Structure 1
Amino acid sequence: MRVMRFAGVLVVAASLSACTAFNVATHRVSGDPVDAPGGTYRADPQHTSVTFSVDHLGFSRFVARFNEVAATLEAVPGAPEKSKLDVTIKAASVDTNVAELDRMLAGSDFFNAARYPDIRFVSTSIVRTSQGTGEVAGDLTMAGQTHPATFTVTFNGAAPDPLTGADKLGFSAEGTLDRSEWGLANWWPAVGNEVRFHIEAEFTKPES
């Protein structure tokens, strides 16, 4: 009897594996955001990254990232200018791969994460520049100061997730800012003031 049950489990597991493999192999996304279902989406933390780079003594661009990112997208595909994006990054999650530097950046001489734990971006306008690209402008708050920032966005695709069936949207974004505008000018000129951001994000529409 146990052998039969075990064999049954193997058959079910094999069927599920074959179904998953088929779903992934036949998975296709639409590159036109108009095809995406509207509604509220949340960033998938396992497939979303925010990295940034700064000049280091003219030798290279030093690359770091934030490990805790949350975002909500109110998507209106037929009228993207009506969509809304709200992003919150935990300042203390800055990750340079150098523990002492992480502590310095999170400390009172830079982000001051104890007093200002959140870095926040709230969109004020979204403009579609082509079928799959656009510009998102908004208010960026860091270390207690708020200034405008603009990011260029590429829409990568929309489709149901082949593994979960949930509606998903994918984006890439880039932007450049002058950190000194937010009062974060420490270590210049050894560290450049120009900060280049690169963002990869997958948004999932939760089941209602």
Structure 2
Amino acid sequence: MRLILLGPPGAGKGTQAQLLVEKYGIPQLSTGDMLRAAVAAGTEVGRKAQAIIEAGELVSDDIVVGIVAERIEEEDAKGGFILDGFPRTIPQADALDSMLAERGLALDAVIEFKVDEAQLVHRIERRAAETAAAGKPIRKDDNPEVFQRRLREFREATVAVGPFYRERGLLRTVDGMAPVEAVTRQIEQIVSAA
């Protein structure tokens, strides 16, 4: 099973990805985590990425796709994987599709989390307040200014990825504002039909 979870920050993708990991035993692939691991491991792609990062530049789509390509060759990803937060743009989606096709692989589904942005902002503010009240460090992403910037970036670049996959018959939607258990049931229905 090869899935993409698509939606704005705070929509619940990470929570649902962890539940899928536990249920199906396939890894959740975070491009940020994979990038850091490739740099630490000193792989060819990791060395290229490190040079770009050290120069203060953004890592190119080719390098990110190369890191995904390396990662899906690992044993734990042979039975499938969940991409969360990637692809973020149409060029990344095109490159991902080409890379998978070269390996004789295809996505099973792209699950888009539909949310009400105003309610989402309140959800993040509440999560930050609850975290602070519990005496735990607040996630950097839960800072209201950071969250608003990430939401804007999603609207500007990533929102177009949904229609890209809809045209290919892969896009399925879930109500990201529903309780966690209800979203899980929606995703299980999608996965069982894929």
Q: Normalising by structure 2, what TM-score?
A: 0.24
Structure showing greater relative contact order (alpha-carbon pairs closer than 8 Å, 6 or more residues apart): 2
Which protein has the larger Cα radius of gyration, Structure 1 or Structure 2?
Answer: 1
Q: Normalising by structure 1, what TM-score?
A: 0.23
Judging by fraction of residues, say which structure has more helix: 2
